[in-house]
Each structure stands twice: as structure tokens, then as C-alpha cells.
Amino acid sequence: MASQTLLSVGDKWFSYSGLLLGDASVPATIELINIPNTGLRDSLMKTQPFFGLPPNVNPNEGLGIQINIDDVIVYEFKPPDPYYRNIQTPIDLFVPRQSKVTILSLNTSGNNSQARGCTTIGYYL
């Protein structure tokens, strides 16, 4: 699980989850990024999820992504397509100052061992 890091100029921040791998015990959601407080300024946040090749290509076995701001779901996408052809576009969201940001990977039983992660950059407004 990754947290927020300020860039040296102080007007942006970033977070990398790294590549997370699971096993048979992986729960239905995996926390990729957890930022308890985004800072004293509003932000525009850009998030790019990424996934490894699926071990199971059956319909409805695609991994998904969920973004929460202050424990409210503001974005969720879980395609039925296990090849994730529709999730390559970055996700842009407004984040109010001093917000908690949590990014989760949504899982299914057929893809516990699939690699996943995300990168996020925030631009202070």
C-alpha cells in the first residue's frame, strides 16, 4: 500500500502502488493506495490502473478499480472483459483539500493471482 509523496517543487504529489501479486487467499478488494490527507490545497488527481495478463479469460472475471474520497465511492469500473480493453484511459478526479483518498483493486475468484497496481499524480490548484 502506497501513500502520498510531494514533488520537489511542492505543487504536485504522486503515489505508486507498485506491482502487487496475489494468491488463493486474496480478498475481494486489495488496497493499492491510501492517502490519509491530501494536503491544504484542492487537487486534480490523475490515476492510471494497470493489470498483468489474466489467468482466467472467462466473462465477468475482469479486475476492477474503485476510488474513494473521504470513504465515498467516486469512481468504480469493473469490466466483464478480462483483457481490460476499456480501462487504459487515465481517470481524472477533483480532490478537495484535506481529503482521504483510497484506491482499491476489485477482485474476483478467477483472478486472485493476477498482477495489478496503479500510479497517481495530483496537481494542486
Q: What is the pLDDT of residues 61-110, one digit of tens each?
A: 777 899 999 999 999 988 766 666 555 678 999 999 999 999 998 887 77
Give residue 42's domain range. Answer: 5-124
Residue with cell 492510471: 48
How many separate domains does the chain show?
1
Higher per-residue confidence, 60 vs 113: 113
Tell how strand 29-35 and strand 101-106 pair up.
antiparallel
- For residues 26 and 45, which has the higher predicted lDDT (pLDDT)? 45
Q: How confident is the model at residue 7 (pLDDT cuts 50, 70, 90)?
A: confident
Q: How many CB atoms lie within 10 A of CB 10?
A: 10
How far does Cα 97 stand from its chain's mean position?
19
CATH number of the domain residue 12 falls in: 2.60.120.290
Q: For the chain, how many residues are written?
A: 125
pTM for the structure as a whole: 0.86
Helix (H) or strand (E) holding 124: strand 116-124
Task: Determine what percent of the chain is predicted with pLDDT higher than 70.
Answer: 84
Q: Sheet holding 64-69: strands in order across?
A: 29-35, 101-106, 64-69, 72-77
Q: For residue 105, what are the β-bridge partners?
A: 30, 65
pLDDT for the residue 81? 65
Distance CA 102, CA 31 (A): 7
Average pLDDT, the chain: 84
Indicate the pLDDT class of residue 1, thresholds 50, 70 and 90: low
Grid coordinates given for 14 = 504522486
